Structure 1
Amino acid sequence: MTLSSGTLYVVATPIGNLEDITLRALRILREVDYIAAEDTRHTGQLLRHFEIDKPLLSLHEHNERNRVAQIAELLAQGKNVALVSDAGTPLISDPGFPLVRELRQRKLSVVPIPGPSSVLAALSVAGLPTDRFVFEGFLPAKSTARRERLRALAGEQRTLIFFESSHRVSDCLADMVTEIGGERLAVIARELTKRFEDVHGATLAELAGWLSADPNRNKGEFVVLVQGAPSATEADTPETRRLLTALLAELPTSRAVVVVAKLTGLPKRALYDLAITLNGSLAMAND
C-alpha cells in the first residue's frame, strides 16, 4: 500500500511502555519521508528501538513557527511528514498547534494516528465522572496566578484534569485545598505505564498529606484529576443545611458560606443561594 502524498501524520507515541505503540503508528513512521520531533534525541531512541531510520526535523516551542513554512513546502512537494512529541499524543500540551492550523488553512492533508494519551489513560482509571471533563494542562508556575486560576475553576462541575511537574505538585495540591476545598475528591496518576506507576485517590486534603509523607511520591510525571463541583441541587443536603444554619447563627452570610465551602468543597455560589433560602426560613421562624 502506498501512502497518499503530501500528508502530515500526527502520530501518538508511548507515554512510557513501548509496547503501547500501535501497528499503524509503526507503519507510518517507516513510510514517511521525514519525522518532525519535539526532541530529536528522544525520538531517535524510540526509532532505534524499532529499527526505523528516517531524517529528523526538530520542532519545539522555540522554533515551531519557523518550521511551519518548511514543512508546508515539503508537503507541497509531495513529501509525507510524521509529527511526534516526546510522549503521547502531539499538540496536547505539546508543540504542533501553529503547524496544524496553518496546514489546514492551506488545505493540506493532516491525518491523526491515534494512540497513547496520559489524559485519557488517567481518566479511565481514576474512578471520577468521565461523561464530562475539562483538560486544563499545566497551571501557572507562580502560586498567586495558580490560585487565581483555581479560584475561577472552583465552581466547574466537570471533572478537572491537570498536568503537573514533580517540583510543583505539592504546592499545587496545597493551593487546590485552599481554593477548591480539602474535601473535594481527587486522584493523582503518577508515572503512567512506567515501572513505578501509581494511581492514588482521596480527598484533596488527604492527597496533600499523602504526597508530603514520602519524598519518593513527588517524583515523576503527574496527572492530577479533581472531581467537579456539585450542582446547586447536590449542595442542598441535610448535612449542609445543618452546618450552614449553625454558622449563619454566628456569622455574616458571606463568611458562613466561605467556611462551609472550605469544609465541604461545595461551590460558593450554590452555598450562597442555599444560605439566602435558609435566612428566609429563619426570619419566618422568628416572626
Structure 2
Amino acid sequence: MPSFINAETVWIDTPHGRLFARRWLPLDVARSRVKPPIVLFHDSLGCVQLWRDFPQRLCQATGHEVIAYDRLGFGESDAYPGDLPLHFIRDEAERFFAILRTELQLDRFIALGHSVGGAMAAHCAALYPQSCVALITIAAQAFVEERTLHGIRVAKAQFEAPGQMARLEKYHGDKAHWVLSAWTDTWLSEAFSDWTLESTIDAIDCPLLALHGEHDEYGSALHPVRIAGLATTPGDYLILDNCQHVPHREAPEVVLDAVGRLLGSIADE
C-alpha cells in the first residue's frame, strides 16, 4: 500500500464565487500522473471535511490522485447566490465541474459520488464521455422514492431539536441553514417529484459500479439496479450487507476493495 502526501489545497474562481478543493497524491507523484485522478462528489449535507479519511485511504489503496471539492454553498466554498435550482444536479456537471475540470486540467478522470453526488458524478460521466474513465456511485438516488422522502422528513425533524444545527454549522458555518433547506425543500418539493436520472442524462459509456447499503434509509436496492442499467456495456452493482447510507464510513474496506477491483480491471485492459 503506497504512502500518500496531502499535496495541496486549491481555490477555484467561478463567476458566482470561489470553490474550495483538496488534492491527495501518492508518494510516487510521477507515477500517479499516469493514472486518471478520482474526483469525489459529496452528498446533500456534505463537504470535503465530511469525507473524513476516505480520500486518503482511497489514494493509498488505488495509487490514484484523489480530488475532493466543496460545491458552492457548502463547506469552505463561498455562499450560493440564491435558492438552489431544481436542475441543480445537471447544473453541477455543466457549470461548476466544468470550471474545476478546466482549472485542474483534468483530461481524464474517474467520477465517484455519494448520495446526490452520485447522480452528479453520473451526469459528469455522460457529459464528458471521452474523459470519464469510470463511474462509481455510493448510495446514489436514481429517482424520487417514498423511502427517500421519508428519510428526509425524519432528518428534517431531527434538525429542529435544540443544538442539532450546530452539527451543520461546524462544517458549513453561517451557510448551514441554506444547506439544510436546499436539501429538504428541493427533494420534498412537488416540482421535483418526477425527477429521474434516466430522464436527465444519456447513456454512460464507461465502466460503472453502483454501491448501495442493504439498509439504506434514503433509497431501496432499485436505485443501484437502475444506475447500473444506464451503462452502454453492462454496469455492475453491489449491495453491501449491514450498511445504511454511508458505506464508505460503515464498511470502508469493502468499498475500497470494490473500487480497487474495478480500477484494476480497467488498468488491465
Q: TM-score, normalised by structure 1?
A: 0.27
User: More helix per residue: 1 or 2?
Assistant: 1
| Larger gyration radius, structure 1 or structure 2 | 1
